[in-house]
Amino acid sequence: MNVQQASRFKTWQLVLLFVTGIFLAVGACKNDTPEPAPVLSITSFSPTTAPVSTTLTITGTNFNTTPASNIVTFGNVPATVNSATSTQLVVTVPTGATDGPISVSANGAKATSTANFVIGNKVVVSVSGELTGTINWTKDKVYLLKGYVYVTNGATLNIQAGTIIRGGSKADDPTGQQQAATLVIEKGGKINAIGTVAEPIVFTSNKPAGQRNYGDWGGVVLFGKAPHNQAGSTLAEGGIRGQLGTDNVPNDNSGTMQYVRIEFPGVALTGTTNSEINGLTLYAVGSGTTLDHIQVSYSGDDSYEWFGGTVNAKYLVALRGWDDDWDTDWGFSGKVQYGVALRDPAVADQSSSNGFESDNMGNPGYPAGTTPATIIANNGLPLTSAIFANMSNFVFSGTPVATASTNGSGPFQSGMHLRRFTSISIYNSLLAGYPEGLRLDGKANTTYANALSDKLDLRGVVIANTITPVRGADEITNDQAIAYFNDPARSNTIIASSAVATLLLNSASFNLTAPNFLPQAGSPLLTGAVKTGKMADAFFDKVDFRGAFGTVNWTTGWTNFDPQNTNYDK
């Protein structure tokens, strides 16, 4: 090899080394490039069909390993994420979920399933007879009551928020006695039905949406050991077993009911008078019991009835009942604040439906020809002396009708029918659209004497849009009743039909399926509440407004004003 050839060879060696270096460098750079991060995705979920409250597993990629950092939605309803890895989420199908895809948001990205999830019907569990020990009902099942179901002495029924309980008809009674489903909490038994705004507990008809009606089943009945004015051997109405007894325990505790709806109850058990069960019936229930945020809808009898007892309550709704909304008897002495009743003006009872109906000892309330002294000797104490405050009742938005209702069995009568030696007190309340506002009914030495002595006490009450605002009955004359109600010291108000607009009621106050009860800004109902007298009791909130509402709608979220069309299968 000559010098020139050697030089060329060396040059090619250098070029080859240079090119090789470039390839090695490029290869090294490729090896240093990181793998791309996995994209958030949903590859599958199981099961693909399941009821609300069921556990479901979602498989995919790039989930956040912190459960709360993954937002999982069924439609627009968020689900609880129980556990998480980067490739798997375990969630609970939420109440309100609908058929459709599932979405997951995590790590700044969002993924939606290509397949649809389908909400399945819940398992139905039949319940009948006696319940003993500790019983737990959970929201992943539907419970079908058949016949009379008794929570016995010493037993406790716990009901999870969001649980649906259905009441069977007379034909569903397994004993063949034609007893429509009724849940009875006996003396010494307890119910803990604690719902939430988002997940109320619902007792309803066993019929499908669109076919439900008044009195499809019995209702809910609580017995307690608090004082009443009846003989201890007195039986419950409607053939339910159990006597009132003579326990006399004012602070007795029958449990807790919060955020509970009771729909389509009030079955007539027989063809005789007073054989119906009310929506919520309370026999001698004590003040240790907690009742708040309860709605009774489409009751075939009274929405609420208290037979003696000392139990207190707040935030009650009575929707489209058949007979009375708030019925007090047998010495009930509890306290109630915030209640609204909305009536269907086409439905009333043959007994004449009232907002408040208050008696002391029932019919006739006192033996004929007796005096208060002999009434006491005949077990007339304790008197019915309940205190109601901030209640609103709505019936006719136009001219009230005093004749028989078109779809019921009788007429509407009074916003308040107070009779038979009652000592009830009603403060800061609104009664709108009844034929009569107040009917003060009784003997001169009983009901009227209680009124004059302030045992029966009406203050801050607004009666609006009535044919007869105030009247007397029995031995109480119209003039006496009117003078009592219009006493300036009582701060009561009568609003003529022609002046109802001055109240600035919400235009949706009488809407049967989508009401709004909040008064308009500037309404006189937002001020003027009486805060003295019996309102000084520590139980009562000292609010400025009259009626059940100020500026906060406490019915939002947990009530249902159209239960006829709700699907409770899922």
Mean pLDDT of successive 10-residue segments in the chain (570 residues)? 51 50 49 69 96 94 97 96 98 92 96 96 96 98 97 99 97 93 98 98 97 97 95 85 92 99 90 76 98 98 97 99 96 98 94 94 53 56 96 97 91 96 98 98 93 98 98 97 98 98 98 98 99 98 99 99 93
**pLDDT at residue 333 in the model:** 98
Give the separation between CA 26 and CA 19, rounded to whole angstroms: 11
Is residue 336 within 8 Å of 314, Cβ to Cβ?
A: yes
Whole-Å CA distances, 112 to 123, 318, 447, 563: 28, 42, 68, 32
Q: What are the structure tokens assigned to 192, written together?
A: 């803990």
Q: How many Cβ atoms are within 10 Å of 461's Cβ, its own excluded?
A: 25
**pLDDT at residue 3 in the model:** 45
User: Is there a cis peptide before residue 47, judged by omega within 30 degrees of 0?
Assistant: yes
**pLDDT at residue 32 in the model:** 55
Give the separation between CA 220 and CA 127, rounded to whole angstroms: 14
Q: Coil, strand or helix: which one is 536?
A: helix
Q: Coil, strand or helix: which one is 268?
A: strand
Give the separation between CA 311 and CA 251, rounded to whole angstroms: 8
The amino acid present at 39, given as its one-letter code, is V
DSSP conformational letter for 26: H
Give the separation between CA 557 and CA 52, rounded to whole angstroms: 18
If you search the block for the tokens 């019996």, which residue do you land on? 534
Q: How many Cβ atoms are within 10 Å of 131's Cβ, its own excluded?
A: 20
Give the separation between CA 347 and CA 541, rounded to whole angstroms: 33
What spatial distance separates the first Cα and last Cα of the chain, rounded to whole Å? Answer: 94
Is residue 78 within 8 Å of 41, Cβ to Cβ?
A: no
Q: What are the structure tokens assigned to 463, written together?
A: 């009666």
- The superfamily (CATH) of domain 41-119 is Immunoglobulins (2.60.40.10)
CATH 2.60.40.10 domain range(s) in the chain: 41-119
**pLDDT at residue 377 in the model:** 47
Work out the burial of residue 210: count CB atoms within 10 Å of its CB; fewer than 13 is exposed, 13-18 middle, 19 or more buried: exposed
- The pTM is what? 0.88
Give the separation between CA 316 and CA 503, rounded to whole angstroms: 23
**pLDDT at residue 272 in the model:** 62
- Whether the CA torsion 239, 240, 246, 250 is positive or negative: it is negative
Is residue 519 within 8 Å of 506, Cβ to Cβ?
A: yes
**pLDDT at residue 10 in the model:** 54
